[in-house]
Amino acid sequence: MLRLLFCLTCALILLASSVASAAIVEHSFHVRKLTVRPLCSDQVITAVNGSLPGPTISVQEGDTLVVHVFNESPYNMTLHWHGVFQLLSAWADGPGMITQCPIPPGGKYTYKFKLLKQEGTLWWHAHVSWLRATVYGALIIRPRSGHPYPFPKPDGEVPILLGEWWNANVVDVETQALATGAQPNNSDAFTINGLPGDLYPCSQNRIFKLKVQKGKTYLLRIINAALNNELFFKIANHNMKVVAVDASYTVPYVTDVVVTGPGQTVDVLLAADQEVGSYYMAANAYVSDGGAPLNSTTRGIVVYEGAPATATPIMPLMPAFNDTPTAHKFFTTITGLAGGPHWVPVPRQIDEHMFVTVNMGISVCPTCLNGTRLSASMNNYSFVHPTSLSMLQAFYFNVSGIYTPDFPDTPPVKFDYTNDNINVLNPSLSITPKSTSVKVLKYNSTVEMVLQNTAIMGVENHPMHLHSFNFHVLAQGFGNYDALNDPKKFNLVNPQLRNTIGVPVGGWAVIRFIANNPGVWIMHCHLDVHLPWGLATAFVVENGPTEDSTLPPPPADLPRC
């Protein structure tokens, strides 16, 4: 009896401690015009609370985050909380016309959700048109009180947000590209924490500086917030130790280069163990499609305490723009920290098998220059966002005609997917019909998906992001996926967990996840040039059998279309 009372008392203390460690963290975001001058001229942008990047949000696992968004800009607006599970809070996920209608100019909406079962570096950004070029910021989820990191506590923590800058209104850049059917203009600069560094015109004094003390260790929370570019990141004469990706802990991995696709995050430990001095950190583009090099490099400076003010920083030797071997090595060497905080073992029973091609193509456009425009698709379905009602509202209220539950498990035609000559051999494969097609999943079903790149109109690495879920990356490779031999390469013990996967250029990746959250969840390429072209699909996860597995009703202030 005494033992039972003791156990009960301990359980109550543990429960009370857990409840006490959870807090409500509240912010107000005012989205409005801001005039900035990163390069040679003033530019009016859309930003949050008058800053670029926007505010960093810091919470602990278990907290409830409440963000009141006031749209004082001239554009429709939504915010997406990239990588957040949104357990039973799908109304707060944020992609326009998927889980909500946009917040109109002059409107407001409150995002409210719990941060559960995940910790690390995530981020938030606009999810309407190209506005996330300047509407973005870090979202840092630290462990609950009394729960340490699974690595030595660093002496400091620093968000490193890698961005992209245009000397133009980004909405106009996207609109022009869609109107002509052509590729949009390249950006004019990359940035580190909103600053371009000293290699661009008029930017010599607009450079991020990280001050460090010799002998101390710093946790760099690296976020690729660029719209259309994967990036290499290096610090001269320093190695970095990767300890997490996409807010999931990893087996520590020492490297001198970090590679990130748009939407991905990488946490690294930087030991200030070199001679006192100044060292450039730098980021440049990884261009996987075989096109022209993008001659653009952003730089910041790591400055040791006591370094002479006149010291010339040392520059790292950066990878070539098309260094696929370096990128592939980084992406495939990382493994998950099995047994670490919030680790989820690989599910072994598979309910849904999917083989999904990731295609570039064309669609008919009578008003475009050549009568066609660039398009993109998954399994030859080019995704179109609805316009009259969000997909989540259609799901909740059982409204027909907004989407169709017919996204195929396999492509309509089997072919030599990565053959560079395939477009010449079969031009009909490049035509991508438009639809709002979804895959319906039973609650708690396990999905295994082969993502296969194609060479219909060139090959490139596609960073594919799945809302609401982390997935295990079981294997990656080049060429066509071999269903007989490639499963032998699966890591079922400690694969990396991610929410965004760079499908290798001219290759494939296999992911597996459990659909344990009811709602409508989009999967799309996080190159923003490709989303309006249709490189997306959506999963409709049905309600489960209990209240704890059923989508709750929408909030009263949900914007209307």
The string of DSSP codes covering 219-236 is EEEEEE--SS-EEEEEET
Q: Are residues 327 and 393 in the same domain?
A: no
Cβ atoms of residues 284 and 231 within 8 Å: yes
Question: What domain range includes position 53?
Answer: 21-142
292 located within any domain: yes
Sheet holding 64-71, edge to edge: 43-48, 24-36, 64-71, 108-114
Name the residue among 362, 366, 358, 364 with its Cα closest to residue 375. Answer: 362
Least confident segment among 72-81, 364-373, 391-400, 507-516: 364-373
Shared domain check, 208 and 69: no
72: Cβ–Cβ under 8 A, 6 or more apart, which residues?
Answer: 30, 31, 32, 105, 106
Same domain assignment for residues 237 and 312: yes
Q: Is the pLDDT of residue 17 over 60?
A: no
Residue 155: φ, ψ to 5°: -80, -15
For the four alpha carbons of 59, 61, 62 and 64, in that order, the dihedral sign comes to positive
pLDDT reported for residue 185: 86
Nearest to 171 by CA among 137, 132, 141, 216: 132
Is the pLDDT score of 143 beyond 90? yes
- Region 388-402 average pLDDT: 97
Q: How far apart are CA 192 and CA 527, in angstroms?
A: 19
Q: Are residues 366 and 297 in the same domain?
A: no
β pairing state of 217-224 and 248-255: unpaired
pLDDT range class, residue 535, cuts 50, 70, 90: confident
In this structure, is residue 270 part of a structural domain? Answer: yes
Residue range 487-523, pLDDT digits in tens: 999 999 999 999 999 999 999 999 999 999 999 999 9
Domain co-membership, 38 together with 60: yes
| Statement to judge: residues 77 and 202 lie in one domain | no
Token pair recorded at residue 541: 């996860």
Q: Which amino acid is at 283?
A: A
Number of domains in the chain: 3
The domain that contains 526 carries what CATH number? 2.60.40.420
464 and 504 part of one domain: yes
| pLDDT band at residue 426 using 50, 70 and 90 as cut-offs | low
Strand ranges for 412-506 from DSSP E: 434-435, 438-441, 445-453, 462-466, 471-478, 497-498, 500-503
Per residue in 77-118, pLDDT tens?
999 999 999 999 999 999 999 999 999 999 999 999 999 999
For a pLDDT cut of 90, what percent of the chain falls above it? 78
